Structure 1
Amino acid sequence: MTDTNELTVRLRAEADLPRCVEALAGVQDADRYPVDRPADPAGWLTPHGMTDAWVVVAGADVVGHMALTPPGPALATTAGLPERSLLAVARLFVSPRARRRGVAALLLDRAIGPAQRAGRDRSWRSRRPRVPPSGCTSARAGATSAPPPPTGRPPTAGSPACGCTSPLRLP
């Protein structure tokens, strides 16, 4: 297994997308994240409105990915903050072979600077609200949970790899 010292975090380049798609396939096979395999994985990794995306690489392999996107009105309402003051974490995943190495924490740490420079609050959203936040990467990185929005719908089943509720506020 790759040592944390051998990991490199950098902005995602277009040339990284094929390796990101490979890593995503491994995550989907292991965790069912995303629950449904996207027909266009490269497009899925580039959500509408994406402001930035990062990868963690170990050698030539992409072992982690994260994007920042606009939060949308539901997250802003839940956070009690205007949309313009938030960015949302999207498409965050870590390859199964690189887990427990701090990859997600490296990605989350990398997102804080651009969010602050853009004048944004540091609030993040997880798509897997059914697992308590105590063991997830975001909680280990210092995030705390806020109550989910009152949608009247039960939470969607998701991967056990992470389990923070939405939204998260980093210290």
Structure 2
Amino acid sequence: MTLTIRPRREEDIPDLANVLVRVHALDGYPVEGVADPEAWLRHPNELQSWTATEDEKPIGQVTLTRATPEDDAARTWHELTGGDVARLAIPVRLFVDPEHRGGGAGRLLMESAAGYAQARGLAIAFDVMLKDRAAIRLYERLGAQRVADLVHQYGEGLAEPAAVYVVGG
């Protein structure tokens, strides 16, 4: 099988939405649920999204977003560094089909997002739920540094312990 990372295309969205539903059923990601997975994939602050494919079939994706002052990771990053949130990018919506994990797709997706941000002089920070241990292992293998713990608030009074990571100082 041939693993490829490329910019996400609109025609990838239905296949990726189906993958996301399977990921949520297995991992509980995203914690907010997947009532409308296609809409969830279309992030309003998207800079760029990438699709992982195996033999041309979408098996995973990541989206790099512009940070806003409301983002948990952006607030934490700003408090720690004093940096301008306008110079911060946040990778989000990273997932890989459970049947295709272990082949490097997650690593290549994150490397694509990080390379894009770094080429544009953007810092990178993000949060991850502590329950997502495999994702945390991936981020740490890629050199991301855990800089803070927080509680992600979502839904009506729901909360999930999380950590904020930065890539490259």
TM-score (norm 2): 0.81
Would the alpha carbon gap of residues 82 and 103 (structure 1) be closer, same or farther in structure 2, given more than 3 Å must change?
same
Residue 87 of structure 1 aligns to which amino acid in structure 2?
Answer: A
Specify the alignment match of 2:99 in structure 1: 97
Q: State the distance in 1 between where 2:14 and 2:132 align.
A: 30
Q: Quick one: which of 5, 9, 24 aligns to 1:28?
A: 24
Greater fraction strand: 2
Asked whether 1:37 is paired with 2:41, we answer: no
Aligned CA RMSD, in angstroms, stands at: 2.7
Residue 69 of structure 1 aligns to which amino acid in structure 2?
Answer: T
1:63-108: CA deviation from partner (whole Å, max 9, x where unpaired): 1110011222242331122111110011001111111111111011
Q: State the distance in 2 between where 1:16 and 1:52 align.
A: 14
Q: Mind listing any 5+ residue stretches in structure 2 that lack a counterpart?
A: none
Q: Quick one: which of 47, 52, 57 aligns to 2:48?
A: 52
SS at match of 1:87: strand
1:20-68: CA deviation from partner (whole Å, max 9, x where unpaired): 1111111011111112432221110011111100010001421111001
Asked whether 1:112 is paired with 2:114, we answer: yes
Q: State the distance in 1 between where 2:94 and 2:14 align.
A: 16
Aligned length: 160
Specify the alignment match of 1:15 in structure 2: 11
Identity over aligned pairs, percent: 27
Check whether the contact 1:76–1:82 (CA below 8 A) recurs between aligned residues: no
